[in-house]
Amino acid sequence: MNNPNIWNKIWTQAMADTEFRAWVKRENKGVRGRKVLAYINKYLGNSRGIKTIEVGSGLGVYSFILGLRGAAVTLMDYSKEALSLAERNFSSSGLTASFLRMDALALDSNLRQQFDIAMSFGTVEHFEGEERFNLAKTHFDLVRAGGIVIISVPNRLFFPHEILNFFLHRKNKWPLGYERSFSRSELLELAGRIGLNNVEIGGSAFMSDLFRYIFVFTSTNFFKRFFRTLSCWVSFNDRASLFDDLFGADIFLMGCKPLSV
């Protein structure tokens, strides 16, 4: 299962500043990033001055992207190591942010309805049962009426990730605790239960995701037994395709909290 100790251990394997910046650049210009920013612009207008919170933030890539656009960003995580690394990356770039060490399932009532956007990227899939729903509901509780909820999760139809997940679990080498991917229908059902309006489901760049996972597979010992290992990492720029919203590695829910709430 998941707890702060698991994630503290993961985040102690520090990501170099150059890798973080490359990650930010890829998301900022990538298919998912463009769709997320277009949705924000459509319903909130300019990002400058809006208040955002990233739930289970890790390094806070999207908080960083929105911070560059003038948003007042808050990163929430129950991992001390994640927030420490995030604070270092923000500070080195001259960006200000608030860093909140808190379990999102035990939300401080003072935070409710205080933000224009509540978002997460790779968080909700690590919970099951009612905790899965309650964590999604936390996003809804954090935003004001008319605010935006964004929840990005692994896509059950992106078969390379599902194969890798299954293989590493069989070998007892999966490092990320509990994880179960989502289907589009599950995200839509979640949006309905939460009570979101203007719901859109997007997907990341399928072809680019596929090529990235090919390189992940080539780094495994299983692959090396039978094939010659590729000697270098190749960076793929995201390219949109007709397959993205259905088969992309990540699918993401975007919706608005009703004004009448």
Q: Which domain holds residue 33?
A: 4-256
Residue 147 has pLDDT above 60, yes or no: yes
Band (pLDDT 50/70/90 cuts) for residue 218 is low
Q: Looking at residues 193-219, what average pLDDT do you find? A: 86
Band (pLDDT 50/70/90 cuts) for residue 166 is confident
Band (pLDDT 50/70/90 cuts) for residue 134 is very high
Tens-digit pLDDT profile for residues 84-114: 999 999 999 999 999 999 999 999 999 999 9
Q: Looking at residues 4-14, what average pLDDT do you find? A: 72
Q: Does residue 216 lie within any of the structural domains? A: yes
Report the distance separating Cα 242 and Cα 247, nearest Å: 9
> What is the value of pTM for the model shown?
0.89
Residue 231 has pLDDT above 80, yes or no: no
What's the burial of 16, exposed, middle or buried (CB within 10 Å: 0-12/13-18/19+)? exposed
Residue 209 has pLDDT above 60, yes or no: yes
Band (pLDDT 50/70/90 cuts) for residue 14 is low
Q: Does residue 230 lie within any of the structural domains? A: yes
Q: Does residue 261 lie within any of the structural domains? A: no
Q: Does residue 163 lie within any of the structural domains? A: yes
Q: Does residue 136 lie within any of the structural domains? A: yes
Mean pLDDT, the chain, integer = 86
Residue 233 has pLDDT above 50, yes or no: no
User: Quick one: tokens of 233?
Assistant: 């990492």
pLDDT at position 176 is 66
**For residue 109, what is the domain's CATH number?**
3.40.50.150
How many domains, the chain? 1
**Residues whose CB is less than 8 angstroms from the CB of residue 54 and which lie 6 or more positions away in sequence, other chains included:** 60, 62, 63, 73, 74, 75, 76, 119, 120, 121
Strands 115-121 and 51-55: parallel
Q: Strand ranges (DSSP E) for the chain?
A: 51-55, 72-77, 98-101, 115-121, 143-154, 197-203, 250-256
Q: Does residue 62 lie within any of the structural domains? A: yes
Band (pLDDT 50/70/90 cuts) for residue 37 is very high
Q: Phi and psi dihedrals of 99, rounded to 5? A: -120, 120
